[in-house]
Amino acid sequence: KAGVTQTPRYLIKTRGQQVTLSCSPISGHRSVSWYQQTPGQGLQFLFEYFSETQRNKGNFPGRFSGRQFSNSRSEMNVSTLELGDSALYLCASNYYNEQFFGPGTRLTVL
Amino acid sequence: KNEVEQSPQNLTAQEGEFITINCSYSVGISALHWLQQHPGGGIVSLFMLSSGKKKHGRLIATINIQEKHSSLHITASHPRDSAVYICAVPQETSGSRLTFGEGTQLTVNP
């Protein structure tokens, strides 16, 4: 079985721009969680999608949004980028409380 | 909110030494995760356990639900074990939403 894939792996944007990150879960997994990792805050939960519905949301501003498609692929979007959004964004493919992490997308905001 | 505390934050060992990393959490949980993160950023799930002990190769994870405490042990440590080890617990109402400890940076010298 293929693992979790995330694209792109690296991204450089400037303040004010928006960005879309993609995550393809393991085949058959219907739940995807997104996390942000920064040196200062560590790993923090962004949101979780299950069967195209947002099931849980972390404490992030509305600039952070996501969606899930019928094939379980998920995207997250960050609008009006700020310097503090520079981070590693990880998605996890969930199956009965087990989480399988993707390699992450490293976003740098200049 | 479930707080997760890990110790130590940093650990340096000589090859062959026995390693212990500790994790404490504040509220009841259904399971606890131990994760490994290498410098490239990717996270690998090592264990998910809800009681007792699990072993995989040189890694052993234990959990004491009553004391809200878990330990990760590495026997006969090797330089390739150098990584950040993170414990994580699920939210009571959502197994797919994890709260993470700050991580333990392990360096094993040859």
pLDDT above 90: percentage of residues in chain B = 76
List strand residue ranges (DSSP E) for A1-110, in order: 5-7, 10-13, 19-24, 31-38, 42-50, 53-57, 64-68, 74-78, 87-95, 98-101, 105-109
Q: Which residues neighbour A40 within 8 Å (Cβ) at sequence distance 6 or greater?
A: none
Q: What CA–CA distances, in Å, run from A66 to B53, B106, B107?
A: 37, 34, 37
Pairing of strands A105-109, A10-13: parallel
Contact B97 A104 (CB under 8 A): no
Query: Mutate which of B48, B49, B96 to disrupt the A interface (most A C-beta within 10 Å)?
Result: B96
Is the confidence at residue A95, as pLDDT, over 60?
yes
Confidence of residue B29 (pLDDT cuts 50, 70, 90): confident
- Number of residues that make up chain B: 110
pLDDT reported for residue A1:
65
Chain mean pLDDT for chain A: 95
> Amino acid identity, residue A89?
Y
**Distance, CA of A48 to CA of B38 (rounded, Å):** 24
